[in-house]
Amino acid sequence: MSHILVTGGAGFIGSNFVHHVLDNTVHHVTVLDKLTYAANTASLEGLPASRFTLVQGDIADADLVDDLVAGHDAVVHYAAESHNDNSLDDPRPFLESNVIGTYTLLEAARRHGTRFHHISTDEVYGDLALDDPNRFTESTAYNPSSPYSSTKAASDLLVRAWVRSFGVDATISNCSNNYGPYQHVEKFIPRQITNVLTGVRPKLYGAGANVRDWIHADDHSSAVLTILEHGRIGETYLIGADGEMNNREVVEMILGQLGQPTDAYDLVTDRVGHDLRYAIDSTKLRSELSWEPRYTNFAEGLAATIAWYQSNRDWWEPQKDAAEARYAAQGR
């Protein structure tokens, strides 16, 4: 039995991983989370108290991090400022949490010889042309576009350096866009679902032609646990489920599933530096570690996600006004 420290475990994907570990293993989990605007402790309700502890704190707090890492067998590091639009408004918290926070954790893992898995994003690779036959692989060159993705790229490179220079037992995964229940309403899919549920028209950036490679958060969690248990130290694994769709197609599907005319959306000011297309080739993860996604039908996964937002207004309504106020200030 192991004790796993999950940073950012009160956020969307981290909380999904906590449930996945507690449901499928005998491990104990401690969540270290600063509880920023993006966190929601309601996502962690109902977990077994004998195997789960929540600690509120900052991953850049070296003393706290050292104490916690010393008492755990592994760290799975999700904590980050995660939203591109916010990083364009105010990059500093992204540097503090994503770069200094990762550095602080790596130093503790180095001191205590702790297994470390770093969660990252496909955005470190920049973007692809719509007609590019290639997808991102583990050997694609880094080319991040936004303050968010550049800080994630920096954190990946720190992990690689700490493996090579200091022998830290680390792995890295870079995943594509996640969807599913418990995602903050600032993100594309929950924003549009909750817009329709509150009588507001969905908002597409630019012409809505940008492509994202959607994967259900449950599939991301199963892949991370597989890499934590069976991945080769020092290796990077790309996680994706062959889910490429453009934003217009996704909004039309949301509107259709909610019984609205599929053209009842507005085009709004584009995000500056907006990446055009992401696409993941996850052959290495599938062939080396025999991982497969369970959610291969996006329309079904989306319908279940919409049903969750319809039935869980108490979870998202308290965050909706603040998220929309941030967008209004950005003209979106």
Of the residues 140, 145, 171, 178, which one makes contact with ligand NAD according to CB under 6 A:
178
Joined tokens for residue 60: 């850049």
Q: Which does 13 bind (CB under 5 to 8 A by kind): ligand DAU, ligand NAD, none?
A: ligand NAD
Of the residues 84, 97, 102, 104, which one makes contact with ligand DAU according to CB under 6 A:
84
* Nearer to ligand DAU among residue 170 and residue 204 (C-beta): 204
Three-state secondary structure call for residue 191: helix
Residues in contact with ligand NAD, shown as a per-residue x/- string from 61 to 90 under the rule CB under 6 A: -----------------xxxxx--------
Q: Which does 117 bind (CB under 5 to 8 A by kind): ligand NAD, ligand DAU, none?
A: none
Closest among 232, 245, 233 to 287, alpha carbons compared: 232
Helix (H) or strand (E) holding 255: helix 247-257
* Nearer to ligand DAU among residue 19 and residue 212 (C-beta): 212
Question: Count residues contacting ligand DAU (CB under 6 A)?
Answer: 19
What percent of the residues of the chain are helix, what percent strand, and what percent coil, each to the nearest 5? 45, 15, 40
Query: For residues 210 and 65, what is the distance between their CA atoms, to the nearest angstrom?
Result: 39
For residue 120, CA distances in Å to 14, 77, 136, 142, 156 come to 12, 9, 14, 12, 7
82 is a contact residue toward ligand DAU (CB under 6 A): yes
Of the residues 29, 39, 158, 193, which one makes contact with ligand NAD according to CB under 6 A:
39
Q: How far is the CB of 268 from ligand DAU (least distance, A)?
A: 7
Q: Which stretch binds ligand DAU (CB under 6 A): 63-71, 107-115, 133-141, 205-213?
A: 205-213
Which stretches of 73-114 are assigned E, i.e. beta strand? 74-77
Q: Which does 244 bind (CB under 5 to 8 A by kind): ligand NAD, ligand DAU, none?
A: none
Three-state secondary structure call for residue 100: helix
Of the residues 145, 150, 151, 176, which one makes contact with ligand DAU according to CB under 6 A:
176
In this structure, what are the phi and psi dihedrals at residue 106, rounded to the nearest 5 degrees?
A: -65, -40
Residues in contact with ligand NAD, shown as a per-residue x/- string from 118 to 137 under the rule CB under 6 A: -x-x----------------
Joined tokens for residue 166: 């200091």
For residue 3, CA distances in Å to 25, 27, 31, 107 come to 11, 6, 11, 19
Query: Which residues are designated catalytic?
Result: 122-123, 148
Which stretches of the chain are assigned E, i.e. beta strand? 3-7, 28-33, 52-56, 74-77, 115-121, 170-175, 178-179, 203-205, 211-213, 215-216, 236-239, 244-246, 266-268
Count Cβ atoms below 10 Å from residue 198 Cβ, excluding itself: 13
* Nearer to ligand DAU among residue 116 and residue 278 (C-beta): 278
Q: Which stretch binds ligand NAD (CB under 6 A): 33-41, 66-74, 246-254, 257-265?
A: 33-41
188 is a contact residue toward ligand DAU (CB under 6 A): yes
Please give the torsion angle defined by the CA atoms of residues 321, 325, 328 and 332, in that order, rounded to the nearest 10 degrees: -60
Which residues of this chain interact with ligand NAD, rule CB under 6 A? 7-8, 10-14, 33-36, 38-39, 58-60, 78-82, 97, 101, 119, 121, 152, 175, 177-178, 184
Which residues of this chain interact with ligand DAU, rule CB under 6 A? 82-84, 121-123, 176-177, 187-188, 191, 203-205, 210, 212, 247, 271, 278
